[in-house]
């Protein structure tokens, strides 16, 4: 169940962030509207060509892209495996359709110069759009930037709010990083039980994630009384 505070907090905290980049994105939209439509037609034409040849070409589905993002291989897939050939489709679905997974991916591509000319300011704008859609990977990335003061002004309170919200949405990556933040002294003790319960009840698939979860659980057990740990481990406490 999505916590009711998540959308409200993110909207309140970041509502002005999009305004800060409004002039950038509006100028960009005027310049590239025609280009994006041309790109879309080119993709459709390519798909028709392959259909005529009885072969198939696949652009990324939302589920596929989410999997690539969750496992951290989206750069290798987009740039190395697929040689940037689906860049126009990613841009279309980020800018015209406003799909959060594609907004985040397009942001990463712009910020890091992946398959396109680097444009950090515009990339941050798309990252904020994905955050405003409560897309967990974008919230994680923004939290990292806020904590480090890299690309965004250093603001540990925003980092805490965003990472906790992403963890509440069910992101395993966020739950590990949120617990790590608490172990490092960020956040308040009132968050310990909740964060421990999320870790304890989450299923991690990689050996690294399982090892990190076990380590963080061990560290968090030192930070709470035994009865609080027991309550956090109880099934009734846990809420996805």
Distances (CA, A) of 200 to 63, 165, 214: 26, 18, 9
Contact assessment for residue 156 and residue 184, using Cβ atoms and an 8 Å cutoff: no
Contact assessment for residue 21 and residue 152, using Cβ atoms and an 8 Å cutoff: no
Confidence at 24, pLDDT banded by 50, 70, 90: very low
**Highest mean predicted confidence (pLDDT) among 57-61, 158-162, 235-239:** 158-162
pLDDT at residue 58, as a whole number:
78
Length of the chain counted residue by residue:
240
Confidence at 121, pLDDT banded by 50, 70, 90: very high
Distance between alpha carbon 167 and the CA centroid of its chain, in Å? 11
19 burial (CB, 10 Å; 0-12 / 13-18 / 19+) is exposed
pLDDT at residue 7, as a whole number:
58
Contact assessment for residue 163 and residue 178, using Cβ atoms and an 8 Å cutoff: yes
Distances (CA, A) of 23 to 13, 99, 121, 125: 20, 21, 11, 10
Helix, strand, coil percentages (3-state) for the chain, rounded to 5, are 75, 0, 25
pLDDT at residue 127, as a whole number:
98
Contact assessment for residue 172 and residue 204, using Cβ atoms and an 8 Å cutoff: yes
- In this model, does residue 103 exceed pLDDT 50? yes
Spatial CA neighbour of 233 closest among 187, 205, 192, 176: 192
CA distance 156 to 111: 21
18 burial (CB, 10 Å; 0-12 / 13-18 / 19+) is middle
Confidence at 50, pLDDT banded by 50, 70, 90: very low
**pTM value?**
0.78
Average pLDDT over residues 198-209: 94
Distances (CA, A) of 112 to 101, 117, 170, 184: 17, 9, 27, 28
């Amino acid at each position: 169940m999505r916590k009711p505070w998540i959308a409200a907090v993110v909207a309140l905290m970041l509502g002005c962030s999009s305004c800060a980049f409004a002039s950038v994105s509006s100028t960009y939209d005027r310049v590239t509207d025609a280009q994006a439509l041309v790109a879309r037609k080119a993709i459709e034409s390519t798909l028709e060509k392959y259909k005529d040849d009885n072969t198939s070409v696949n652009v990324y589905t939302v589920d596929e892209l989410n999997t690539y993002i969750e496992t951290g291989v989206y750069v290798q897939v987009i740039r190395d495996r697929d040689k940037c050939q689906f860049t126009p489709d990613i841009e279309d679905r980020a800018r015209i359709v406003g799909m959060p997974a594609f907004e985040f991916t397009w942001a990463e591509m712009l910020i890091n110069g992946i398959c396109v000319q680097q444009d950090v300011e515009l990339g941050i704008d798309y990252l904020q759009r994905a955050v405003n859609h409560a897309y967990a990977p974008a919230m994680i990335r923004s939290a990292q930037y806020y904590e480090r003061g890299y690309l965004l002004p250093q603001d540990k309170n925003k980092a805490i709010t965003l990472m906790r919200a992403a963890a509440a949405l069910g992101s395993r990556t966020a739950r590990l990083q949120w617990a790590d933040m608490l172990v490092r002294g960020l956040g308040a003790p009132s968050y310990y039980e909740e964060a421990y319960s999320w870790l304890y009840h989450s299923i991690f698939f990689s050996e690294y994630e399982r090892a990190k979860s076990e380590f963080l659980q061990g560290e968090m057990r030192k930070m709470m009384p035994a009865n609080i740990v027991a309550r956090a481990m109880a099934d009734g406490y846990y809420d996805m």
